Copies of this chain bind each other. A is one copy, B any other.
Amino acid sequence: MSYSISIERTSALKQKPDFSQLGFGKYFTDHMFIVEYDDGEGWHDARIVPYQPISLDPAAKVFHYGQTVFEGMKAYKDAEGKVALFRPFKNLQRLNRSNDRLSIPAIDEGLALEALKQLVTIDESWIPTEEGTSLYIRPFVISTQAALGVSPSEKYLFMIIMSPVGAYYREGINPVSIYVEPQYVRAVPGGVGNAKTGGNYASGLKAQEEASDKGYSQVLWLDGVHRKYIEEVGSMNVFFKLADKVVTPALSGSILDGVTRDSVIQLLKYWNIEVEERAISIDELVEAYRNGTLEEAFGTGTAAVISPVGELNWQGERLILNGGQTGPLAAKLYGFVTGVQRGAVEDPFGWLLKL
């Protein structure tokens, strides 16, 4: 199948930022992809155009009823200058699972992949190559019908924008301190916690702010029903190394099915390290900490890849993990996954899609 994507190139390339000072999601490349949806007509007018503002009616549903989904993925350049995407199919499948949950019409994954390839190729000079950097890719869908009835939109835009990024956390691969949230809840079974939709992030801002004020960089969410089972961290899934195995919360419906989570599980199995996906209570972790069997904790996500946890604060008790230092397992995982991404380590799982 072939897809027709029209291309309008910018007449004035932007000045690139200092690639050693990128931060996360602050600068955007020269072009973007856009395709429109209208009820009856389907997705139409796929095009790559210069990065530019979009104009919407103030009654557009996205401004009122939060009917949005997004994805986050990355492109890398290897030492020979070859460009690769990391597991893009997983992201596009998840995009459509999110769409389904949010009553947004499915997007042809073949079209989206073709758009990704063409867009990354056109803006290839924006892919930074320094260690820890990459080109972050943000596909997203917004509902654009100008009508205030609460019902699924009859019009949408699916867009892809891209941003060269440095490390997500200022700490880099250094450990982060995490506040285990006792009061606020992110998601609950039956809700939209396993969809990548705006409302899940908006609802976490206040807890995040309050944790920051206490000196913590992220919040660890507990489940909304029992208020004791571990869910996930900010924009990451979370893993714990107990004495002889690694545990991570099962996909219960209220957490995101992370691509990095899946990659880490695959890798642990490949290394013959036992990994369990199951319910983990905060009490179990506190007990393991006191026994000395909670050896490491780390988050996994596209932005930071692997983010070691140096401290967990649970109701004022500070659990210091691996002496507050990056643990050996987190370091090994980080080295392997980012190595594959940069083309420096052999890719045994076929994770890279080379362009």
Instruction: Verify if A336 is at the interface (C-beta below 8 Å from B).
Output: no
Cβ distance A252 to chain B, nearest Cβ, rounded Å:
13
Given contacts A188-B185, A191-B224, A197-B66, contact A58 B151 (CB under 8 A): no
B58 and A150 contact, CB distance less than 8 A = no
Contact of A149 among B25, B204, B224 (CB under 8 A): B25
Asked whether any CB of chain B lies closer than 8 Å to the CB of A106, the reply is no
Interface residue tally on A, bucketed by range: 35 or more
Question: In whole angstroms, what is the CA distance A66 to B192 when docked?
Answer: 13
Q: Which of B55, B66, B147 contacts A25 (CB 8 A)?
A: B147
Contact of A202 among B32, B102, B187 (CB under 8 A): B102
A101 at the interface (CB under 8 A from B): yes
Majority SS at the chain A contact face: loop
A54 at the interface (CB under 8 A from B): yes
Tell which of A136-144, A270-278, A338-346 binds the partner.
A136-144
**In the complex where A51-B58, A138-B148 touch, is A202 in contact with B25 (Cβ < 8 A)?**
no
How many Å lie between the Cα of A273 and that of B355 in the bound state? Answer: 72
With the chains together, A52 CA to B146 CA distance in Å? 12
B residues in contact with A335, CB < 8 Å = none
8 other A-B residue contacts (CB within 8 Å) besides A186-B191, A224-B225: A24-B149, A26-B149, A54-B56, A59-B163, A65-B205, A197-B199, A199-B202, A225-B225
27 contacts between A and B (CB under 8 A): A24-B149, A25-B148, A26-B149, A28-B146, A52-B58, A53-B57, A53-B58, A62-B63, A63-B68, A63-B142, A64-B201, A66-B198, A102-B206, A103-B209, A136-B148, A138-B148, A150-B208, A151-B208, A183-B190, A185-B188, A188-B225, A189-B224, A190-B227, A192-B199, A197-B203, A198-B202, A224-B224
Measured CB to CB, the residues of A under 8 A from B are 23-26, 28, 32, 51-59, 62-68, 70, 101-103, 136, 138, 140, 142, 146-152, 159, 161, 163, 183-192, 197-206, 208-209, 224-225, 227, 234-235
